[in-house]
């Protein structure tokens, strides 16, 4: 059943990565950032997870067993998750503007953004990416994709935790109050 759903998801990811590549060209210089070792290891884990999610559907039969039955409802749900997730991540990234960095960092003149998706969760870019990766994993439905999703989720969770430390140090009580009021990654839950 993959065909039209997989093409739609592929376009979603193409739009996501194209936007990401173009938007990295405009950002403020950083005044404090995490160690390069963390960035390299965390980014490597994220990319490995992402590749496994995407390549899982072409895994050998012994590795590519389905973890959910192939059904139109699963494919439709996964495709909707991917579209909504990519849209949410891009919207979140766009609101950050020059405050965004590909690594955990505090930028010169960084502003505390608390509007749009940042009223729903504190790390909406990662929420969107996770939703899109979950959708892609559902459409692929393979164990390899599921392992990739778990690796990507671990990477994004680690990065969000590190960002929390930086943001508390930078914005103090203002960010601590935000932590008490807005969930971390999953709306209404966590």
Indicate left, alpha or beta for 141 from its phi (over 0: left) and psi (-120 to 50: alpha): left
Whether residue 138 lies inside any domain: the answer is: yes
| Residue 190 covered by a domain | no
- The CATH number linked to 13 is 1.20.120.1630
Backbone phi, psi, residue 59, to 5°: -70, 155
* Assigned domain for 106 exists: no
pLDDT for the residue numbered 3: 67
pLDDT digits 0-9 by tens, 89-138: 999 998 887 777 777 777 777 778 889 999 999 999 999 999 999 999 99
Question: In angstroms, rounded to a whole number, what is the distance separating the alpha carbons of residues 184 and 72?
Answer: 32
Q: Please determine, for residue 189, whether its predicted confidence score (pLDDT) is greater than 90.
A: no
Q: How many domains does the chain have?
A: 1
Question: What span, in angstroms and rounded, lies between the C-alpha atoms of 22 and 189?
Answer: 33
Residues 109 and 28: beta-carbon distance below 8 Å: yes
Torsion, CA 163, CA 168, CA 170, CA 172, rounded to 10: 170
Show the domain range for 88: 2-19+35-99+113-181
Asked if residue 87 is part of any domain, the answer here is yes
- State the pTM of this model: 0.86
In a domain, 189, yes or no: no
pLDDT at 156 over 90: yes
Q: Is residue 137 part of a domain?
A: yes
In this predicted structure, the answer to whether residue 1 has a pLDDT above a threshold of 70 is no
């Amino acid at each position: 059943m993959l065909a039209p759903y997989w093409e739609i998801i592929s376009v979603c990811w193409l739009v996501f990565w194209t936007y990401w590549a173009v938007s990295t060209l405009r950002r403020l210089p950083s005044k404090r950032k995490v160690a390069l070792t963390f960035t390299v290891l965390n980014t490597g884990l994220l990319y490995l997870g992402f590749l496994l999610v995407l390549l899982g559907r072409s895994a050998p039969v012994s590795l590519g067993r389905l973890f959910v039955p192939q059904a139109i409802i699963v494919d439709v749900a996964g495709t909707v998750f991917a579209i909504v997730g990519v849209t949410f991540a891009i919207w979140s990234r766009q609101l950050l503007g020059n405050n965004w960095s590909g690594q955990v960092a505090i930028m010169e003149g960084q502003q505390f953004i608390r509007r749009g998706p940042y009223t729903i969760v504190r790390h909406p870019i990662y929420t969107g990416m996770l939703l899109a990766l979950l959708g892609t994993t559902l459409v692929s439905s393979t164990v390899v994709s599921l392992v990739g999703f778990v690796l990507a989720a671990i990477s994004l969770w680690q990065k969000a935790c590190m960002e929390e430390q930086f943001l508390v140090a930078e914005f103090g009580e203002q960010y601590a109050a935000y932590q008490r009021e807005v969930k971390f990654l999953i709306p209404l839950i966590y």
